[in-house]
């Protein structure tokens, strides 16, 4: 079983990438489980044709942990992808990371953490205890950083690299960095910047995903690009990403940049 996690700044396109990645892998006949680890609980929505599935945290609040079955939290989406949403607390109350912790505990009890590939879609603006759980507890063995060429997106990716580096020092830790994914914003020199960032943190650029209107059109139709426009160039990019990640065996312990190094690095490319 291959367990991967996509981390990145909120709004960077993690969920779109994760859903299309899962759809592409499922198209190869693989059994895929996607777990949304974001309080917005929208990771699996396009796989579910626009449906907002019940979140684990909401069900626990309503029924209690002991009264929940696998059928209550695991839903079949496009191409049979199994979908789970952790959810989050009521606004202004509780910790968002708690939903992730509760979800993993429940799925372990229900023996639902299985399949050829488990994809964790995790918010990366902060890497507190709950959001770091997929890495810390050995669930996510390969982490992929989703970023653009914007400074704050790179900053968030670098912070996640710091968490991986710290967690990797644990004797039994299996958490490693699998690569960096550039979700393009059409900035000048963006691919080169992200590729160099990946190199400097001891990793590599595994894919560049073009900014394409077809993504928005697919989402307006409540579908992944893989389903909405299977013959499009964008669908081919996601299919290649899925193949590259599934076959990837090269991981690393990252060497994150210090803040002054990160700012100097960004300035180098602004001046080009």
Strands 117-123 and 205-209: unpaired
Residues for the chain: how many in total?
Answer: 272
CB 10: neighbour CB atoms within 10 A? Answer: 15
* Token code pair at residue 137: 């507890």
Smallest Cα–Cα separation from 17: which of 246, 202, 241? Answer: 241
What is the set of active-site residues?
Answer: 9, 14, 40, 125
**Among the residues of the chain, which ranges form H helices?**
14-26, 56-63, 70-73, 97-109, 133-136, 151-167, 190-200, 213-220, 225-228, 233-247, 259-270
CB 66: neighbour CB atoms within 10 A? Answer: 8
Give the Cα separation of 166 and 163 in Å (integer).
5
- What backbone torsions phi and psi does residue 174 show, to the nearest 5 degrees? -110, 5
Given a contact cutoff of 8 angstroms between Cβ atoms, the answer to whether 116 and 32 are in contact is yes
Give the Cα separation of 156 and 146 in Å (integer).
9
What is the three-class DSSP state of 85? strand
Q: Order of strands across the sheet with 82-85? A: 75-76, 82-85, 32-37, 117-123, 2-8, 142-147, 176-183, 205-209
Q: 């426009």: which residue's tokens?
A: 229
């Amino acid at each position: 079983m291959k367990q991967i996690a996509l981390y990145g700044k909120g709004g960077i396109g993690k969920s779109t990438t994760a859903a299309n990645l899962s759809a592409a892998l499922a198209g190869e006949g693989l059994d895929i489980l996607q777990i949304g680890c974001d309080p917005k609980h929208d990771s699996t929505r396009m796989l579910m044709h626009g449906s907002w599935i019940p979140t684990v945290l909401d069900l626990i609040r309503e029924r209690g942990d002991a009264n929940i079955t696998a059928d209550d939290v695991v839903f079949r989406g496009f191409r049979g992808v199994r979908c789970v949403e952790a959810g989050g607390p009521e606004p202004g109350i509780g910790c968002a990371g708690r939903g992730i912790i509760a979800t993993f505990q429940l799925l372990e009890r229900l023996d639902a953490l299985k399949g050829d590939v488990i994809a964790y879609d995790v918010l990366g603006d902060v890497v507190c205890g709950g959001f770091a759980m997929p890495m810390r507890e050995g669930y996510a063995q390969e982490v992929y950083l989703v970023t653009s060429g914007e400074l704050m997106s790179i900053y968030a990716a670098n912070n996640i690299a710091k968490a991986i580096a710290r967690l990797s020092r644990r004797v039994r830790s299996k958490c490693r960095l699998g690569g960096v994914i550039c979700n393009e914003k059409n900035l000048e020199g963006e691919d080169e910047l992200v590729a160099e960032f990946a190199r400097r943190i001891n990793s590599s650029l595994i894919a560049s995903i073009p900014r394409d209107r077809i993504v928005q059109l697919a989402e307006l139709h409540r579908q992944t690009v893989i389903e909405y426009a299977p013959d499009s160039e964008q669908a081919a990019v996601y299919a290649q990403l899925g193949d590259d990640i599934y076959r990837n065996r090269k991981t690393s312990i990252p060497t994150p940049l210090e803040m002054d190094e990160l700012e100097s690095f960004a300035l180098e490319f602004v001046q080009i």
